[in-house]
Structure 1
Amino acid sequence: MATIAIIGGGPAGLMAAEVLGGAGHAVTVFEAMPTVGRKLLMAGKSGLNLTHAEPHSDFVARYGAAAERLRPTLDSFTATDVRDWCRGLGVETFVGSSGRVFPTSMKASPLLRAWLARLETFGVTVRTRHRWSGWMGDALRFETPQGPVTYRFDATILTLGGASWPGLGSDAAWVPWLAEKGVAIAPFAPANCGFDVGWSSVFIERFAGQPVKSVRASSDAGAIAGEFVISRHGVEGSLVYAHAAALRDRLAATGSAALTLDLMPGRTADRLAADLARQPQKLSFSNRLRKGAGLDPVKTGLLREVMPEAAALPPEQLAATIKALKLPLLRPRPIEEAISSAGGIRWSEFDERLMLTRLPGTFAAGEMLDWEAPTGGYLLTACLATARAAADGVMRWVEGR
Structure 2
Amino acid sequence: MSSTAKHAAIIGAGPAGLMAAEVLAQGGASVTVYDAMPSAGRKFLMAGRGGLNLTHSEPLPDFLARYREAMPHLKAAIEAFPPDTLRDWSEALGQPTFVGSSGRVFPKAFKASPLLRAWLRRLDAAGVKFAFRHRWLGWDEGGGLLFATPDGPRVINADATVLALGGASWPRLGSDGVWTAPLAAKGIAIAPMRPSNSGFTVDWSDIFRDRFEGQPLKGIALTIGTHTERGEAIVTRTGIEGGLIYALSAELRDAVLAKGMATLSVALRPDFAVADLTARLSASRGKQSFSNFLRKAAQLSPVGIGLLQEAAVISGRSLASLPAADLAELINAVPIRITGVAPIARAISTAGGIAFDELDGNYMLRRVPGVFAAGEMLDWEAPTGGYLLQASFATGVAAGKGALRWLSQRAAS
TM bucket (normalised to shorter chain) is over 0.9
Q: 2:364 matched to 1:355?
A: yes
Structure 1 partner of 2:180: 175
Aligned partners of 1:47, 1:296: CA distance in 2, in Å?
27
Q: 2:33 matched to 1:29?
A: yes
Matches within 5 A, 1:119-130: 119-130=123-134
Q: 2:64 matched to 1:55?
A: no
Query: CA shift at 1:216, angstroms?
Result: 1.2
Matches within 5 A, 1:130-145: 130-137=134-141, 138-145=143-150
Q: CA offsets per residue over residues 178-229 of structure 1, 9 Å max, x none?
A: 1111111000111111110011112111111111111111124622221111
Structure 1 partner of 2:259: 254
User: What is the DSSP-based 3-state SS (H/G/I as helix, E as strand, rest coil) of the residue aligned with 1:83?
Assistant: helix
Among candidates 113, 119, 132, match of residue 115 of structure 1:
119
User: What is the DSSP-based 3-state SS (H/G/I as helix, E as strand, rest coil) of the residue aligned with 1:253?
Assistant: helix
Structure 1 partner of 2:289: 284
Structure 2 partner of 1:153: 158
Among candidates 194, 197, 201, match of residue 196 of structure 1:
201
Q: In the alignment, is the contact (CA less than 8 A) between 2:353 and 2:377 conserved in 1?
A: yes
Aligned partners of 1:349, 1:15: CA distance in 2, in Å?
22
Q: 2:20 matched to 1:16?
A: yes
Structure 2 partner of 1:74: 78
Aligned partners of 2:287, 2:97: CA distance in 1, in Å?
55
What is the one-letter code of the residue matched to 2:334? L
Q: CA offsets per residue over residues 100-148 of structure 1, 9 Å max, x none?
A: 0000010111111110111111111100111111111211111111111
Structure 2 partner of 1:306: 311
Aligned partners of 2:249, 2:360: CA distance in 1, in Å?
30
Matches within 5 A, 1:205-284: 205-220=210-225, 222-280=227-285, 283-284=288-289
What is the one-letter code of the residue matched to 1:30? Y
What is the one-letter code of the residue matched to 2:156? Y
Structure 1 partner of 2:399: 390
* Matched-pair identity in %: 53
User: What is the DSSP-based 3-state SS (H/G/I as helix, E as strand, rest coil) of the residue aligned with 1:119?
Assistant: helix
Q: CA offsets per residue over residues 263-319 of structure 1, 9 Å max, x none?
A: 112321111111111133654321221222121211111110122222221110011
Aligned partners of 2:311, 2:151: CA distance in 1, in Å?
56
Q: In the alignment, is the contact (CA less than 8 A) between 2:14 and 2:44 conserved in 1?
A: yes
Structure 1 partner of 2:348: 339
Aligned partners of 1:33, 1:81: CA distance in 2, in Å?
29
User: What is the DSSP-based 3-state SS (H/G/I as helix, E as strand, rest coil) of the residue aligned with 1:227?
Assistant: strand
Q: In the alignment, is the contact (CA less than 8 A) between 2:307 and 2:334 conserved in 1?
A: no
Aligned partners of 2:217, 2:331: CA distance in 1, in Å?
13
Among candidates 325, 332, 353, match of residue 323 of structure 1:
332
Change (3 A) 1:221 1:366: farther
Q: In the alignment, is the contact (CA less than 8 A) between 1:33 and 1:128 conserved in 2?
A: yes
User: What is the DSSP-based 3-state SS (H/G/I as helix, E as strand, rest coil) of the residue aligned with 1:105?
Assistant: coil
TM (normalized to structure 1)? Answer: 0.98
Q: 2:409 matched to 1:400?
A: yes
Structure 2 partner of 1:364: 373
Q: CA offsets per residue over residues 157-186 of structure 1, 9 Å max, x none?
A: 000000111111000011111111111100
Q: CA RMSD in A?
A: 1.2
Q: In the alignment, is the contact (CA less than 8 A) between 1:24 and 1:122 conserved in 2?
A: no
Q: In the alignment, is the contact (CA less than 8 A) between 2:256 and 2:340 conserved in 1?
A: yes
Q: In the alignment, is the contact (CA less than 8 A) between 1:279 and 1:292 conserved in 2?
A: no
TM (normalized to structure 2)? Answer: 0.95
Structure 1, gaps ≥5 residues long: none
Q: CA offsets per residue over residues 70-99 of structure 1, 9 Å max, x none?
A: 111111000000001011111100000111
Aligned partners of 2:312, 2:287: CA distance in 1, in Å?
21
Aligned partners of 2:243, 2:338: CA distance in 1, in Å?
16
Query: CA shift at 1:11, angstroms?
Result: 0.6
Q: In the alignment, is the contact (CA less than 8 A) between 1:143 and 1:149 conserved in 2?
A: yes
User: What is the DSSP-based 3-state SS (H/G/I as helix, E as strand, rest coil) of the residue aligned with 2:221?
Assistant: strand
Q: In the alignment, is the contact (CA less than 8 A) between 1:221 and 1:243 conserved in 2?
A: no
Q: In the alignment, is the contact (CA less than 8 A) between 1:220 and 1:247 conserved in 2?
A: no
Aligned partners of 1:7, 1:354: CA distance in 2, in Å?
15
Query: CA shift at 1:20, angstroms?
Result: 0.3
Matches within 5 A, 1:372-387: 372-387=381-396
Q: In the alignment, is the contact (CA less than 8 A) between 2:358 and 2:366 conserved in 1?
A: yes
Q: In the alignment, is the contact (CA less than 8 A) between 2:364 and 2:373 conserved in 1?
A: yes
Aligned partners of 2:112, 2:208: CA distance in 1, in Å?
37
Aligned partners of 1:305, 1:251: CA distance in 2, in Å?
21
Q: In the alignment, is the contact (CA less than 8 A) between 1:35 and 1:128 conserved in 2?
A: yes
Q: How many residue pairs align between the two structures?
A: 401
Aligned partners of 1:384, 1:56: CA distance in 2, in Å?
16
After superposing on structure 2, the runs of 4+ consecutive aligned residues of structure 1 that deviate more than 4 Å are none
Q: In the alignment, is the contact (CA less than 8 A) between 1:7 and 1:157 conserved in 2?
A: yes
Query: CA shift at 1:326, angstroms?
Result: 1.4
Aligned partners of 1:101, 1:221: CA distance in 2, in Å?
28
Query: CA shift at 1:330, angstroms?
Result: 0.6
Query: CA shift at 1:400, angstroms?
Result: 2.5
